[in-house]
Amino acid sequence: MNHIFKRVVVILNEIEKIDNLLEKAVAFSNQHQTTLEVLFVHEEPLFKLPDYFLSDEKISKETIDKKKIKKSIQEKLNSLNPHKSVSILILVDDTLDQVLEYGKENKDILFITAYHEELNNKLLHKSPYSFWIVKNEIKSYRKILLPIDLNAKSVEVIKATEHIFPTVPLEMVHDYRFTLDMTLIEDDHLRITPIVSSIDIEISQERKERQRERFETYKRDFNLTGDFLEENEGLEEDLVEYINQSQAELIVMYPEEIELFLSSNLIIKLLHRVPKDFLVLNI
């Protein structure tokens, strides 16, 4: 398959955290032959630079020295041997605004960024792109976990994940209680919206077993392992506990148009509660 991402853009906000992000970005770009770009955005008051990266004569005013920052980034890139030339852009601005401007609705861009609660909230809520959010200094992943929704988009995401990480074992997890019964939605001016929340949906044993059969079919068709979650503490709590206990270092998620199991809100909650890297695919 053609690669879903033609451009990889590393979002840097803190110069001290560039090593891990650039290592992942260069390895990804080299493997998949994508273009690589670095977007350093200094955003006050979220991020404060060390004095070394401020203009000598204007340290008191905290005017950043773009040449020093670019030199530091370039030196790190040179040590990683990227196969293609890398463009570096240094800005003092709002990160979300720059991401929206950079993307211009092009879905073939993968943004790689460090974890930052406030910034990640804005990026995932207000931009339509894919984000690889890095929390840990892991050189290479040994296992990936994909919470799955058992619909047409699930197939697309499985194939994309296996293409992006062809050598890393992929596992699936499904919680049938998040599944939306199409009889429980209404057509309001051609807009389909859920009329009950996920926690209020009561699914019969027959429907539960139907979902289990579909999950087992996915496992056979894609030759994957995975677990079908049963009732325990609660919807979100069960999923958080399962992910935390999983040996996977990367969690792949994808927001749905009808937001239920894989809603943006759930993805953001998991992102903040689970100490693992996340790949959020908007494809």
Using one digit for the tens of pLDDT, what is the confidence trace for 256-266? 765 455 677 88
Residue 249 burial (C-beta neighbours within 10 Å; 0-12, 13-18, 19+): middle
Task: Say yes or no: 168 and 109 in one domain.
Answer: no
Query: How much is the pLDDT for 279?
Result: 98
How confident is the model over 222-246, as a mean pLDDT?
85
Dihedral, 151, 157, 158, 159 alpha carbons, nearest 10: 120
Number of domains, the chain: 2
pLDDT of residue 59: 43
Residue 281, pLDDT > 50, answer yes
pLDDT at 176: 78
Band of the pLDDT at 64, cuts 50, 70, 90? confident
* Residues spanned by the domain of 258: 144-277
Whole-number average pLDDT of the chain: 83
Is residue 221 over pLDDT 70? yes
Question: Which residue matches tokens 């211009």?
Answer: 104
pLDDT value, residue 112: 97
Checking if the pLDDT of 208 tops 60, the result is yes
More confident residue, 237 or 21: 21
Same domain, 152 and 113: no
User: Residue 186 pLDDT > 70, yes or no?
Assistant: no
Last residue of a domain, one of 134, 158, 176: 134
pLDDT, residue 184, reads 41
Are 242 and 148 spatial neighbours (Cβ–Cβ below 8 Å)? Answer: no
* Residue 237 CB neighbours (<10 A): 11
* pTM (predicted TM-score): 0.84
- Is there a domain that residue 163 lies in? yes
Do the domain assignments include residue 71?
A: yes
Helix axes 18-32, 66-80, angle to 10 degrees: 50
Domain presence at residue 185 = yes
Question: Among residues 134, 163, 195, which one ends one of the domains?
Answer: 134
**What residues contact residue 223 under an 8 Å CB cut-off, 6+ apart?**
none
| Buried b or exposed e, range 176-188, using 16+ CB within 10 angstroms | bbbbbeeeeeeee
